[in-house]
Structure 1
Amino acid sequence: MTTDRMPRDKGSEVHGIFEKIAGYYDRMNFVMTLGRHEKWCREVAARVAPAAGGQLLDLATGTGVIALEAARRYPASAVTGVDFSEEMLSRAMAKPGADAIRWQRADAACLPFENESFDGITEGYLLRNVEDLAGVLREQYRVLKPGGRIVILETCPPSGLLKPIMGWGVRVVVPLLGQLVARDRSSYTYLESSTLAFKSPQHIADMLSGLGFRDIGWRKKFFGTNVILWATKPK
């Protein structure tokens, strides 16, 4: 699950992983979520609801699933898809409808955009792959216009009564699927470890609030292993 990644050391390691998995990224997302991934991406695009004719930024665009859905849903808006991985971007740019989107390679920790450039921001599986979580969210606050919304699709560490079962599933099933579907157990072992070590939705919501976002909410998906969060920059 996806991309725009970080500074040097850890960043170069993660960059290498996502360069390697780009060719089977969509297939693995479909298998691991039992076909739910594209539906979640459609929900992310629906929730961002940029102003008519506005500018929309899709971070960690990966193979462009959210960006392409946003371009279909908001044809009057200008959509920019950003990722750190060249291979991911090349896969995105080869898809039908890709000509409607501006694709750009960039680091989410240092976005090459002016303050208050975008009416909405979407992202998929970015935050668990960055070193400076607060800094990346702060960058998004900076480039978002007042009144604009951010919508985040992310993995979620299991909790509650199902935590032992879902934790086992993430630790065992995800790397196994990586081996069976993609012949790449090591990359999906990273996915397993980064998912289990990531922050709770409440933690992310608290960070968003601390940065100044308001109207914050979230919905867990797929037995609590994924989550969609949203927040608005005050006018």
Structure 2
Amino acid sequence: MTNNRTPRGKGSEVHGIFEKIAGYYDRMNFVMTLGRHERWCREVAARLAPPAGGQLLDLATGTGVIALAAARSYPAAAVTGVDFSEEMLNRAKAKPGADAVRWQHADAACLPFENESFDGITEGYLLRNVEDLDGVLREQYRVLKPGGRIVILETCPPSGLVKPVVDWGVRVFVPLLGQVVARDRSSYSYLESSTLAFKSPQHIARILSGLGFKNIGWRKKFFGTNVILWATKPR
């Protein structure tokens, strides 16, 4: 079953940006995180801990870094990587090991899967790019089996004593790197603003709790600008 709904509103703008940056997305992630991005993706997969032979879903799979890490970590599992950007999926499908993942074009706001279809869900940098944060997380709760876990990699607004320095660094260097590395300052100006304007882990945790998730936790990364969150759907 597929879902080819055309993004509208903010979704249309974000879709256009990710179609545009697909060719240099991995390179920019490497540069912006000083090489840490793939390590975080492996940690996301490792925190999933699904049952043997489980069904796993990676949302906003992009170029497939988390999905491929999950496929390597759990070779007996069936991994599905979903994204609304066809260009991102094309990049993912061309990577070594891509045959181990089922790639699907779909919108995270309206997932084309039955209730309680997956034993675990991962996602990378999805939530800051959606219009209805609660609705997208509600969809994940719907398709997750009882006892299943979600693990989220997301940007995080800096806080504490380092906030002024990190704010300045993100505002200046992310668009500059976009210009130097990708020749695309405008797209990375959007990514800079969405990073600084996004919700705190505490806010996401409150939404997850309100939806019914339990055992919620998180760990910040890279001067507090990124975070890995996890939560479990009760049995």
Q: TM-score range by the shorter chain?
A: over 0.9
Q: CA separation in 2, counterparts of 1:190 and 1:50?
A: 35
The TM-score, its normalising length taken from structure 1, stands at 0.97
CA contact (8 A) 1:6 1:130 kept: no
Q: Which residue of 1 aligns with 2:34?
A: 34
Deviation string 1:112-161 (CA, Å, 9 cap, x unpaired) is 00000000000000000000000000000000000000000000011000
Q: CA separation in 2, counterparts of 1:157 and 1:103?
A: 31
Q: What is the RMSD computed on CA atoms of the aligned residues?
A: 1.0
TM superposition shift of 1:218: 0.1
TM superposition shift of 1:49: 1.0
Identity value in percent: 89
4+ runs deviating over 6 angstroms: none
Q: Which residue of 2 aligns with 1:120?
A: 120
Q: What's the secondary structure of 1:48's corresponding residue?
A: coil
Q: Which residue of 2 aligns with 1:183?
A: 183
Q: Which residue of 2 aligns with 1:172?
A: 172
Q: CA separation in 1, counterparts of 2:169 and 2:131?
A: 25
The TM-score, its normalising length taken from structure 2, stands at 0.97
Q: CA separation in 2, counterparts of 1:86 and 1:175?
A: 24
CA contact (8 A) 1:113 1:143 kept: yes
Q: CA separation in 2, counterparts of 1:140 and 1:84?
A: 16
User: Letter of the aligned partner of 2:103 in structure 1?
Assistant: W
User: Letter of the aligned partner of 1:212 in structure 2?
Assistant: G
Q: Which residue of 2 aligns with 1:132?
A: 132
Deviation string 1:11-63 (CA, Å, 9 cap, x unpaired) is 11110000000000000000000000000000000001111101000000000
Q: CA separation in 1, counterparts of 2:100 and 2:48?
A: 18
Gap runs ≥5 in structure 2 = none
Q: CA separation in 1, counterparts of 2:80 and 2:145?
A: 15
Instruction: Establish whether residue 154 from structure 1 lines up as the match of residue 165 from structure 2.
Output: no
The number of equivalent residue pairs is 231
Q: Which residue of 2 aligns with 1:90?
A: 90
Judging changes above 3 Å, is the alpha-carbon distance between structure 1 residues 141 and 212 closer, same or farther for their aligned structure 2 residues?
Answer: same
User: Letter of the aligned partner of 2:42 in structure 1?
Assistant: R
Structure 1 segment 212-227 matched on structure 2, within 5 A: 212-227=212-227
